[in-house]
């Protein structure tokens, strides 16, 4: 996956729009890019649900810039969740 800011780099600015403890995180994400196909503000809503195995995380993305291919976006989200997993396990110890 190529970067949006440079050949291999993504620079983003994110702000939290809403935090509901143990339930929901809503963020606005803006990519720094000179390419207009990556312009605009993407809204990511993370829903957190308790399940017997731990926490089920559902991510809904709105206004994804047209330059981000769906398969690349899905791969990035899976990577993010995979990187989050060790931190979540530490919190259960």
Q: What is the pLDDT of residues 73-89, one digit of tens each?
A: 898 888 888 888 787 76
Can you give the CATH number for the domain in which 86 is found?
3.30.530.20
Total tally of structural domains belonging to the chain: 1
| Residue 4 falls inside a structural domain | no
pLDDT of residue 20: 97
| Residue 6 falls inside a structural domain | no
Q: How far is CA 89 from CA 1, 32, 36, 49, 59, in A?
A: 28, 32, 39, 16, 19
Domain of residue 37, residue span: 12-92
Q: Is the pLDDT of residue 19 over 70?
A: yes
Q: What is the pLDDT of residues 25-63, one digit of tens each?
A: 999 998 888 888 888 899 999 999 999 988 888 999 999
| Residue 38 falls inside a structural domain | yes
Q: How far is CA 85 from CA 38, 64, 66, 78, in A?
A: 28, 24, 29, 11
Is-above-0.85 flag for pTM? no
pLDDT of residue 63: 94
Q: Where are the alpha helices (DSSP H) in 5-93?
A: 70-92
């Amino acid at each position: 996956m190529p970067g949006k800011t440079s050949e291999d780099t993504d620079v983003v600015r994110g702000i939290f729009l809403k935090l509901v403890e143990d339930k929901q995180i809503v963020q606005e994400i803006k990519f720094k890019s000179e390419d207009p196909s990556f312009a605009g503000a993407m809204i990511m809503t993370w829903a957190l649900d308790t399940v017997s195995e731990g926490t089920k995380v559902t991510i809904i993305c709105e206004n994804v810039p047209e330059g981000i291919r769906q398969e690349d976006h899905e791969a990035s989200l899976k990577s993010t969740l995979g990187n989050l997993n060790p931190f979540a396990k530490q919190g259960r110890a």
